[in-house]
Amino acid sequence: MVGGGEGAFIGGVHRMAARLDGHWDLVAGNFQSDPEKSVAFGLGLGLAPDRAYADFRTMAASEAKRADRIDAASIVTPNSTHHAIAREFLNAGIPVICDKPMTTTLRHAQDLADVAARTGLPFILTHNYSGYPMARQARAMVEAGELGAIRVVQAEYAQDWLAKELPGNKQADWRSDPARAGPGGALGDIATHAFQLAEFVTGLKAETIAADLAAFVPGRRIDDNVNVMLRFNGGAKGMLWASQVATGSVNGLKLRVFGDKGGLEWAQETPETLLFTPLGEQQRILRRGGAGVSASATHATRVPGGHPEGYLEGFAQIYTDAAELIRAHQEKREPNAFAKLAPRVEDGVRGVAFIEAAIASSKADGAWTGLAA
Amino acid sequence: MVGGGEGAFIGGVHRMAARLDGHWDLVAGNFQSDPEKSVAFGLGLGLAPDRAYADFRTMAASEAKRADRIDAASIVTPNSTHHAIAREFLNAGIPVICDKPMTTTLRHAQDLADVAARTGLPFILTHNYSGYPMARQARAMVEAGELGAIRVVQAEYAQDWLAKELPGNKQADWRSDPARAGPGGALGDIATHAFQLAEFVTGLKAETIAADLAAFVPGRRIDDNVNVMLRFNGGAKGMLWASQVATGSVNGLKLRVFGDKGGLEWAQETPETLLFTPLGEQQRILRRGGAGVSASATHATRVPGGHPEGYLEGFAQIYTDAAELIRAHQEKREPNAFAKLAPRVEDGVRGVAFIEAAIASSKADGAWTGLAA
Amino acid sequence: MVGGGEGAFIGGVHRMAARLDGHWDLVAGNFQSDPEKSVAFGLGLGLAPDRAYADFRTMAASEAKRADRIDAASIVTPNSTHHAIAREFLNAGIPVICDKPMTTTLRHAQDLADVAARTGLPFILTHNYSGYPMARQARAMVEAGELGAIRVVQAEYAQDWLAKELPGNKQADWRSDPARAGPGGALGDIATHAFQLAEFVTGLKAETIAADLAAFVPGRRIDDNVNVMLRFNGGAKGMLWASQVATGSVNGLKLRVFGDKGGLEWAQETPETLLFTPLGEQQRILRRGGAGVSASATHATRVPGGHPEGYLEGFAQIYTDAAELIRAHQEKREPNAFAKLAPRVEDGVRGVAFIEAAIASSKADGAWTGLAA
Amino acid sequence: MVGGGEGAFIGGVHRMAARLDGHWDLVAGNFQSDPEKSVAFGLGLGLAPDRAYADFRTMAASEAKRADRIDAASIVTPNSTHHAIAREFLNAGIPVICDKPMTTTLRHAQDLADVAARTGLPFILTHNYSGYPMARQARAMVEAGELGAIRVVQAEYAQDWLAKELPGNKQADWRSDPARAGPGGALGDIATHAFQLAEFVTGLKAETIAADLAAFVPGRRIDDNVNVMLRFNGGAKGMLWASQVATGSVNGLKLRVFGDKGGLEWAQETPETLLFTPLGEQQRILRRGGAGVSASATHATRVPGGHPEGYLEGFAQIYTDAAELIRAHQEKREPNAFAKLAPRVEDGVRGVAFIEAAIASSKADGAWTGLAA
C-alpha cells in the first residue's frame, strides 16, 4: 500500500476491504510522504521492518527484487500523485490497484493506460460502487435486454460534508486543493463515481456533455456542485448531478435508467435492493440474494439476503476481483468472467476525460463538449 | 366550466376538487366543442337547461347578464383554446380559473395578463401541486430563512404513460398534438408544474436556462423528455428533468432545495411528509398536521395528520383559495393572506416563458437562454 | 346527520366524505345535544329551518312523514348513543349510516341487527378503512387464492395522541370516558378498525382471542393499549396491537397477511400501495390504478395512480357504496356487487363482540375467550 | 472454531466477522463431526496440520497445553452440542464465543453460567444483532432517559425461508430437528434474537409471558410461528412475533419501543438509521455516523455515515468486543466499557429461559408463565 497513513480515511477502508474476503495480506507499504512517519506507521501495522518503506520508489525497487514480492501495489494517495506512483510500480513489474480519479490530467491517464498495455499488467481502479451486487445486477439486466433500448439515464451523487468550510479537516483540505485533488472538486471526487456507474450499468458511452460547475462555499477554489447534461451513443440522454453542498445528503449516489421496455433504480445508501419496472407491469423489488438475481450479482455476494451487505463488502469485491485478475495473470489463464467486471485502467481514462470535458464545457458556458477518450 | 366533457380526465377532477370543500356549485357549462353533446353532457350533470351551453361565447354573454351569474369560469379545455376562452370571460366581467399551461404562446399569455390587469378580475391558474399543504410548508420554511441562502434546486417530474404510442387514447392524443397542446409536450404538461413548484417554494426566479429536449417515441411530434439546467437570481443553480417515458414512474413530481443552512425534499406521491435537515443536525420528518408546521400549511389542511390527504385535496385547495380571492374581490376587501398563495396569471406567464425559453435553448443546442417574462 | 356539531372531529369528515362523490346532500340534522345549539349549527350549515332539528326523535318522526324525506340518517355521535338513535330511525323506516363501534354492548348491537333485519333497511357502518381501494385489492387477492391458505395475520393500529392527559380536549374527553365511549378505549376506537380490516381482508373469522389490556396514562379509566392474540377459523393465528400511547405514531393502521402461497402488507398511512410477495418470487409493489389491480379496487378509485387518494376518498367510498345500497333498496333491485363491500350491521356486531371478548379475556388474565357473535 | 465445516452457513459468517477488524486469526479448529472431513476442511482453510483437529475434546486438551494456545474457542455447531463443547473449553481454561441459543435446556444454560463463573473466563454469546451501532444507539437513548418510562415494546422477527418443506437443505434440516435444534424452532432460532434485542435496548426484563406457538408446515416437528405477549418489570407490556413462514419476509428483525417521553424504531434490514420521536415533536432520522449519535454507537462504527455498514460489521463488532474482553481478562484489567455491551453467558441463560417459558405457556394454552432465570 502506498498512502493511507495517519489521518487518512480511505487507506483504512482499503485495508478492511482487502482483508474481508481473505485474499490479501498487507505485507509492505509506504504510508505517508514523511519518511519517518511512514516507517513508524508501517511498523505499527505489524509490517516487517524491511518492508515498512520510507518512500515509494524504494518500495517498488525493493519489492521487485524479492522472491516473496507483493502481488500488487494499492495506491491510496491524493490524486495528483497517482500517476507517478502507479507508473513506478508498473515499470517495476508490479500490478496496481489505484484509487480514483486515476490522475489529474488526461495526458497522465492515457500514459498509465499505455504503460499498463505495454507491461501487460493488471491495473484495477477502485470505483468501488460497481462492486455492489445490485449494481452488477442492474448491469446484467440492461445487458440481457430487460430494459430494452435505453432512453434516459439519471445519475446523482449528493453529499453535504463540504457545505461549509472545514478548516483543519485533513480530508476536506486536500480534496478541495487543486494542487492535490486535481482540477475537479466534487467533479473528481464523486461525479466520476456517478459517471462510471452510469456507463458501467448501461454499457453506453457518453459522447458529449454540457456542464455547469459551481463553487458555492466562499473561498472554495474548486467546484462543489456539478450539473451536467449528457448525450450517449445510441441516442440516450441523461443528467448527472453531483454536489458536496446538498444539505442533508450523506452519500447519496443514485442511478436511474429508463429503457423502452423497463426502468430501474438503485441507490448506494440502500444497496441491497433494486427497483425494476417492466413497462406496464407491477414494480418489483429485487433483493440481493433473492429471486431472479443474476449470476454476476451472486458472484459478489457473501451472506444471504436480508443480512445487509454494504460499503465494505462492495469495496471488498473490487479487491477480491483484483485478486482473481492478478492470480489469473500470474497463472497465465483467463480470469473468472465476473472478476472482469472490476473497473480497470480504461475506466480511469474515461473518468479523467469526463473531468476534463466537464471543465471545458463549463468554461465554454455549457457548450456541448466531446469526451476526448 | 368550459371543457371537461365526455372522455376528459381533468374536468372530472376539477369538479370533485371544487365540490370537496363546499365552496362551489356547478351551475353552468360548455363541456365539449360539439354543441349537442355539450348540452347533453350538461343536462346529464343536472344543470338547468338554459345553462347547459352549446358554446362558450354564448355562455360568457348569457352568464354576464344574469343576476345569479357564475362567480367564475373554470377552463379545462386543451391548451390551445385557453386564451380565447379566458379572454371572452374576462371581457364579460367574469373571473377565470384556468388549467395550465395558460396558453401556447407567450404573446397570448401576456395578453391574458394584460386583460386581467385591465379588468381587475381574479385569474387563478390550477398549478394544483402548490395547493398541497407540505408544498406550502416548504415555501414557508424557505421564506422564514430556515434553509439560509438557496444554492441548489433539483426538480423533477417523471411519468411513463407515454413511453409507447397510445393510439386511440384521447388524453395521449391531444397532449402530443402540437396544434392542441402547444409546442411543448412533457414540457408544457408536466415540466411547467415542476418549474412552478420550484419557483413557488424557493421564491427565486430562473433567469436563464439551458435545455435539451427529446422525443423518444417513434413518430412523436413533441418532446417527451426534458433536460434543463437553470440559473436563478441570486446565484442558485438547478436542474429540472421531466419525462413521460421514464418507465416505472407514475406521477413523480419531486423537489429538493438546498441552502447554506438546511435542505428539504418533497415528493408529490408521498405528499404528507417533508424531509428537512438543518445543516449538521438530524434529519426531520415533518408531517401535515404535525409538530412545527406553518400556518400556511395548516390553512390548507382538512383532517388530522396520519389521515392522508392527497391530490384531490391539494386541487381543492386551489378552488377554495380561488373562492376566497373571488369573494374578497366581490366584497372589495383584502383576501386571506394564505389564499393569495394560489397561482395566478403571473405564474401562467412565467410558465409559458419557461416553455418558450426551453424550446429556444434546445434549438440553439443548449445555449443559455433568458426567460422573456 | 345526527351529531357532528361544534368541536366534533368526525362529523365534518362525514360531511366532506358524503359530498366528494356527489351522491349526498345534507338536508336535515340534529347536531348537538343542546337543542338551541343544534338548530343554530344546522342553520349555519345552510339547512332549511324546519329541518335543523332540536332532537333526534323529532327528526326521525318528522322526516318519516315528508315526501322529500332523507334517504338515510348518518349517526356520528359518541358511541353510547348510537343504539337509541339508530333504533329510532330504523323504526321510522329510514336507513342508517352509523359510526363505529356500533354500540357499547353486544346486547344493543344484536338488537340493532335484529331491527335492521326486521325492517329490511340498509344499515351501513363507517369502518372507513375498508373503503380504501388497496384494502379492497388485498381482499380480492385473498379471495382469488393468491395467498393460498392463510396462516398468519398481523394487525396493528398505533397512535400517540393520548400518550399524555389532554385536559380540555373534547375528542380525548369523550373517547376516554366509559360512559360515552363504552367500556373500550383504544379497544373500541381503533382496535375495532384493525379487527374489522383483518376479517374484511382475510375473509376469516376470529374464533377465540387472548387479550392483555392496559391503561398507561395515570388516571385513565379505560384502556389505551391493547395486546391481543387471535385464533381464526381454519387454523390461522394472529396478533393485534392497538395503542394510543405509541409515541411517534400518528394513525398507524397496518395489516399483514401471510398464506402458504404469498404474503401481503398494507398500511393506511401509505394507502396507495400494497406489497405482495408470491412465495419464492420477487416482491411487487401494487399501486392503485396500476397494473394487475382488481375490479373491486378500481370501483373504489377516482383519479389515476400517482395522484394520491387518501382518507377522505376512502371514507367517501363508504358513502358512495351506501348510496348505491340504499338506491337499490329503494328501487328494489340488487345493488352493485362492489357496493356490498361496505361494512354493515353484521360488522358492527362482530366489532362489539370483539370488544366484549377482549375485555373478558383481559379480566381473566388472558384466557382464550370466544367471540359471542 | 468448532463447527462451521462444509455446507454450514454461520461458520463462514463467523470467520469473516472475526477477520474484518483484524483482531482474530483462525489458527485451530474442529469443523465437522466426521473426523477426516474436519481435518481436511481445516487444512483447506490453511491451518497447521497439528491444529486441524478431528474432535473438539482433543482440540481443547491440546490447545490448553500450547504456549501459543488459542485465545478463545468459537462454537458454531448445532444448538444441542453447545453445552458439552463450551464446557470442555471452559474447563480447559479457554474462553468461549458461542452461537445462540446457548443450549437446548435451561439446566444446561445455568450449568454453563456456573462453569463460566467458577472459571472466571469470558463467555461471549453471538447475539450479533446487538452489535449493530444503531441498536446500541437505541439502548443508549433509553438509558439516557430520552424515551422516559417505557410503556410498550413491540418486537418481531419475520422470515419466510421455511414457509414450505425444504427437503435436502442442510440448514433447514437441523434447524427443524428438535434433537439438534432443541425444543424451539423459530423460537430458538430467531425469537431469541428478538427477545435479547428487546431486553438489550430497553434494559427491562420480561417477567412473565403468554405464548401461542404453531407449526404450520405439514410434518414440521417444531414451531415455525411464535406469538408472545410479554409483561416486563416496571409495568411495560409487549408483544413479540417470530415467524419462519411469513411469506415475503426475508430477515425482518424489528424493534419498537415507546416511552412516555419518546418512541423509537429500528429494523435490522435497514440498520443504518433509527427513527426517534420525542413526544409532540418532529420525528427524527438518526444515522450511524451522524449528528447526535452516542459514544457507544460510534464505538461500533468503522466508516462514515452513508457508507452502509451491515450484518458482517455488526457481527464483527461482537468479535471485536470479545477480543477486548478477552485481552482485558488476560491483562487483568477492566475492559473498555463499550466492549461490555457484547452479550454474555447471562444473556444465554435468559434466552433459554425464554424458550422454556414460551413452550410451557403454549402448552398451558397461553397461561402467563414466569421466566425461570
The mean predicted confidence, pLDDT, of chain C is 96
Q: Which of B12, B272, B303 sits opposite C312 (nearest CB)?
A: B303
| pTM, full prediction | 0.97
In this prediction, residues B353-368 reach a mean pLDDT of 98
Question: How large is the greatest C-alpha to C-alpha distance in chain A, in angstroms?
Answer: 64
Rounded CA-CA distance D363/B331 in Å is 76
Measured in degrees and rounded to the nearest 5, phi and psi for residue A345 equal: -55, -35
**Cβ atoms of residues B232 and B224 within 8 Å:** no
The answer, for A19 touching chain D at a CB cutoff of 8 Å, is yes
Indicate the burial class of B174 (C-beta count within 10 angstroms; 0-12, 13-18, 19 or more): middle
pLDDT tens-place string over residues C291-327: 999 999 999 999 999 999 999 999 999 999 999 999 9
pLDDT at A156: 98
Q: Which residues of A touch D251 (CB under 8 A)?
A: 304-307
Residue in this structure with the C-alpha cell 402458504, named with its chain if needed: C260
In this prediction, residues C127-156 reach a mean pLDDT of 98
Q: How far is C22 from chain B (nearest CA, A)?
A: 8
Q: Which residues of D touch B292 (CB under 8 A)?
A: 281-282
| Chain A residue closest in CA terms to C287 | A282
Q: How many CB pairs under 8 A join A and D?
A: 86
pLDDT at C8: 81
The answer, for D167 touching chain B at a CB cutoff of 8 Å, is no
Measured in degrees and rounded to the nearest 5, phi and psi for residue C265 equal: -145, 135
Rounded CA-CA distance A226/C63 in Å is 70
Cβ of D271 within 8 Å of Cβ of A9? The answer is: no
Rounded CA-CA distance C200/A45 in Å is 64
**Cβ atoms of residues C223 and C258 within 8 Å:** no
Cβ of B286 within 8 Å of Cβ of D282? The answer is: yes
pLDDT tens-place string over residues D228-256: 999 999 999 999 999 999 999 999 999 99
Q: How far is B25 from chain C (nearest CA, A)?
A: 11
**Cβ atoms of residues D143 and D203 within 8 Å:** yes
Cβ of C250 within 8 Å of Cβ of B16? The answer is: no
**Cβ atoms of residues B153 and B204 within 8 Å:** yes
The answer, for C273 touching chain D at a CB cutoff of 8 Å, is no
Task: Flag whether pLDDT at B108 surpasses 90.
Answer: yes
pLDDT at C7: 80
pLDDT tens-place string over residues D40-66: 999 999 999 999 999 999 999 999 999
Element (H, E) at A226: strand A225-232
**Cβ atoms of residues A322 and A71 within 8 Å:** no
The answer, for D282 touching chain B at a CB cutoff of 8 Å, is yes
Rounded CA-CA distance A364/B151 in Å is 22
Task: Flag whether pLDDT at B304 surpasses 80.
Answer: yes
pLDDT tens-place string over residues C184-205: 999 999 999 999 999 999 999 9
In this prediction, residues B21-48 reach a mean pLDDT of 95
Q: Which residues of B touch C269 (CB under 8 A)?
A: 272, 306, 308
Q: What is the ipTM of this complex?
A: 0.95
pLDDT > 70 fraction of chain B, expressed in percent and rounded? 100
Q: Is the peptide bond before A101 cis (omega within 30 degrees of 0)?
A: yes
pLDDT at C150: 98
The mean predicted confidence, pLDDT, of chain D is 96
pLDDT at A197: 98
In this prediction, residues D356-369 reach a mean pLDDT of 98
pLDDT at C51: 97
Cβ of B227 within 8 Å of Cβ of A238? The answer is: yes
Give the burial string for B179-215 (b: 16+ CB within 10 Å, else e).
eebbbbbbbbbbbbbbbbbbbbbbebebebbbbbbbb
Q: How far lies B373's CA from each of A12, A38, D245, in Å?
A: 54, 62, 62
Residue D121 pLDDT level (bands cut at 50, 70, 90)? very high
Element (H, E) at B212: strand B206-214
Q: Which chains touch A (3 or more CB pairs under 8 A)?
A: B, C, D
Residue in this structure with the C-alpha cell 430562473, named with its chain if needed: B206
Task: Flag whether pLDDT at D352 surpasses 90.
Answer: yes
pLDDT at C307: 98
pLDDT at A226: 98
Going by C-alpha positions, the residue among D256, D235, D209, D274 that lies closest to residue D151 is D235
The answer, for C305 touching chain B at a CB cutoff of 8 Å, is yes
In this prediction, residues D209-215 reach a mean pLDDT of 98
Give the burial string for A12-28 (b: 16+ CB within 10 Å, else e).
ebbbbbbbbbbbbebbb
The answer, for C270 touching chain B at a CB cutoff of 8 Å, is yes
Task: Give CA angle at D277 (D274, D283), nearest 5°.
Answer: 80
Cβ of D160 within 8 Å of Cβ of C276? The answer is: no
**Cβ atoms of residues A147 and A314 within 8 Å:** no
Q: Beta strands D225-232 and D262-267: pairing type? A: unpaired
Residue in this structure with the C-alpha cell 474432535, named with its chain if needed: D55
Q: Which of D282, D287, D292 sits opposite B292 (nearest CB)?
A: D282
**Cβ atoms of residues D209 and D369 within 8 Å:** yes
Task: Give CA angle at C342 (C337, C348), nearest 5°.
Answer: 135
Residue C182 pLDDT level (bands cut at 50, 70, 90)? confident
Q: Which of D241, D258, D368 sits opposite C239 (nearest CB)?
A: D241
Of the two residues B205 and A7, the one the predictor is more confident about is: B205
**Cβ atoms of residues C307 and B316 within 8 Å:** no
Q: Which residues of B touch A239 (CB under 8 A)?
A: 227, 239, 241
DSSP state of C191: I
pLDDT tens for chain A, 373 residues long, are 999 998 888 899 999 999 999 999 999 999 999 999 999 999 999 999 999 999 999 999 999 999 999 999 999 999 999 999 999 999 999 999 999 999 999 999 999 999 999 999 999 999 999 999 999 999 999 999 999 999 999 999 999 999 998 888 877 888 788 888 889 999 999 999 999 999 999 999 999 999 999 999 998 999 999 999 999 999 999 999 999 999 999 999 999 999 999 999 999 999 999 999 999 999 999 999 999 999 999 999 999 999 999 999 999 999 999 999 999 999 999 999 999 999 999 999 999 999 999 999 999 999 999 998 8
DSSP state of B334: P
| Chain B residue closest in CA terms to A234 | B216
Q: How far is A250 from chain D (nearest CA, A)?
A: 5
Rounded CA-CA distance D232/D138 in Å is 18
| AA letter at D317 | Q
Torsion of CA C118, C124, C127, C128, to 10 degrees: 170
Distance from CA of residue C268 to its chain's centroid?
A: 13
pLDDT at A251: 98
In this prediction, residues B117-143 reach a mean pLDDT of 98
pLDDT tens-place string over residues C31-68: 999 999 999 999 999 999 999 999 999 999 999 999 99
Residue D359 pLDDT level (bands cut at 50, 70, 90)? very high
pLDDT at A178: 86
Cβ of A227 within 8 Å of Cβ of B229? The answer is: yes
Measured in degrees and rounded to the nearest 5, phi and psi for residue C274 equal: -140, 130
Contacts of D261 (CB under 8 A, 6+ apart): C247, D145, D146, D147, D148, D149, D278, D279
Cβ of A247 within 8 Å of Cβ of B214? The answer is: no
**Cβ atoms of residues C215 and C154 within 8 Å:** no
Task: Give CA angle at B319 (B316, B325), nearest 5°.
Answer: 145
Beta-strand (E) ranges in B99-169? 123-125, 150-158
| AA letter at D319 | Y
